[in-house]
Amino acid sequence: MAMRMRLYCIFLEKERFLPVGVFDGTQALSELASQDRDLILCDVMMPGINGCTLVDIIRKSDSQIPILMATARSSFADKQRAFSAGSDDYMVKPIDLNELKLRVAALLRRASKMNNRSMTIGNALLDLDTLTVTEGSSSEQLPQKEFLLLFKLLASPGRIFTRRDIMNDIWGRETDSDERTVDVHIRRLRERFEGSPSFEIITVRGLGYKAMVSS
């Protein structure tokens, strides 16, 4: 595991990223406590704290940092466990380094979008300050949570969000609301933007939701 970590760091550094390697989950938490990071790449199987537990701990304090998990396990149940813990992406070992570079770059681009106050997707403009979606000559102001949910999905097109991901980020971890609240908000968004040429909200059976945008 240590050798693979060093290999990933050497490769990513050659690709002009600035990786910092640690050897287990405890060191990772210590590193995150002392320094802000832009992305986390972690293995599911680690000494001490396993990857899913580590991701769950991180998500309780930082819901935005992108997390890419690596594992030798490729079953649907393993992927579901990783996404449910809060992972943004998932790679099965042996990892192709060129694919790793592409995924890391994509996650960093998505994170950068989330830090903006507005976002353009196709012909749709989302303005976080006014909670409005403008598409062509039509402009609509959304209730806050509907807007935040749509913004979250569209900022990471193709990424699967579980209902728990969405609840934790938009309603907060201490909310008394049921996860079915997410389904209600998704249904309202679909009704509002049915037939939109810019984006579509897709249900991923057994996992959650994702947005697909027009090319």
Residues in the chain: 215
pLDDT of 215 reads: 66
pLDDT of 31 reads: 86
pLDDT of 175 reads: 72
Task: Name the helix (H) or strand (E) containing 41.
Answer: strand 40-43
pLDDT of 154 reads: 92
pLDDT band at 208 (very low <50, low <70, confident <90, very high): very high
pLDDT of 119 reads: 87
Overall pTM surpassing 0.75 (yes/no): no
Strands 208-213 and 199-204: antiparallel
pLDDT of 212 reads: 94
For residues 61 and 195, which has the higher predicted lDDT (pLDDT)? 195
Backbone conformation region of residue 172, classed left if phi is above 0, alpha if psi is from -120 to 50, else beta: left
What's the chain's average pLDDT? 86
pLDDT of 113 reads: 61
pLDDT band at 198 (very low <50, low <70, confident <90, very high): very high
How large is the average pLDDT for residues 162-183?
82
pLDDT of 65 reads: 84
**Burial (CB count <10 Å: 0-12, 13-18, 19+), residue 185:** buried
Is residue 203 predicted with pLDDT exceeding 90? yes
**Burial (CB count <10 Å: 0-12, 13-18, 19+), residue 149:** buried
Is residue 176 predicted with pLDDT exceeding 80? no
**Burial (CB count <10 Å: 0-12, 13-18, 19+), residue 207:** middle
